[in-house]
Amino acid sequence: MVSPFTLRFKLLFYFMQTKTQQEQVMIIRTAAHLGMCFGVRDAISAAKRQAAQGSLTVLGDLVHNPGVNSELKRRGIKTTRHYQNAQSDSVMITAHGTSNNTRRALEASPLRVYDATCPLVHHAHRELETLVAKGCFPIIIGVEGHVEVTGLVGDLEDYRILISESDFATVPTHPHFGIVAQTTQPLDRVRSLVAAFQATFPEAKVEFRDTICQPTKNRQRAARSLAEISDVMIVIGGKHSNNTHELVAVCSKHCDQVHHVQEASDLMDCWFQPGDEIGITAGTSTPEDQIQSVIQHLENLAHRTPSRPAQSGAEQFTRAPWAKVEV
């Protein structure tokens, strides 16, 4: 017969063990909005559809994701920066868009032209054209040299591209300014810059058109909310993807450990500890299979708990169930 003391000891040991296991549960959460947006998805579908009918050359990277572009290459889709170098009778404008001057040059060429420009990038172009038609001096908040920004300014004789208040010094005096933003810029940054611009040029009329796309806004807000409750944030996306870089910046304001990866093989086990709450978000060019492979890697890691340090300094792992995934 088990004595009351022994029974109490066993129950206490059981509850302590259960509490320890609960404290070691790794929670993996995905952002409410993440991954490929409709504009990128449509561009990829259009490229695959046209490539199935004949040879196709994309004028630049269709999207800023190396995995996606590698898949397109395997389908025989070629890439060039200049349409004069196209190795096919058909070319495609990327999701980032281009200038009207380039469009007219393409239309005058013997090439068959397919336009995969995101509708929300088209919207930014129209808003900028409207402001210029009203006599505004054009201001673009964005990353100089980015293909979308290059397309936006490609039809303008004079303009300024701003990314920080230090750029205000380059702006000429003018009675009327018109401001638009690269579609993947953070809303908080853009609003702050517009307010600072108005304060810097109080005598001028300043018109701002919000051209940040809704998918970008949704992903940045969701990433911020998730980063606030996470020990580690994983941001999945191409190294040259501006919207992915912006997600990293947003997360870094609210989480001490933020890692930008392109694929699951970039993950390092030393980033994670038992009991960590891990958040996952992804840029608008990141396909679902890349997101799922990262989740799978973390699920596998979550079933290994550290035992003792190996001689190399790395940790050895033993199997132990401590994963919980929240989508």
Listed in sequence order, the residues at least 6 apart from 327 whose beta carbon sits closer than 8 Å to its beta carbon are 29, 30
Name the catalytic one among 107, 127, 148, 157. 148
Q: Are 260 and 290 in contact (CB under 8 A)?
A: no
50's tokens = 């046209």
Task: Give the E-state strand segments of 252-312 in sequence order.
Answer: 257-261, 277-282, 304-309
Q: Are 303 and 269 in contact (CB under 8 A)?
A: no
The whole-angstrom distance between residue 189's C-alpha and the CA centroid of its chain comes to: 16
d(C-alpha 161, C-alpha 191), whole Å: 15
The residue whose two tokens read 């005058």 is: 108
Q: Is 148 assigned a catalytic role?
A: yes
d(C-alpha 162, C-alpha 142), whole Å: 6
Active site residues: 148
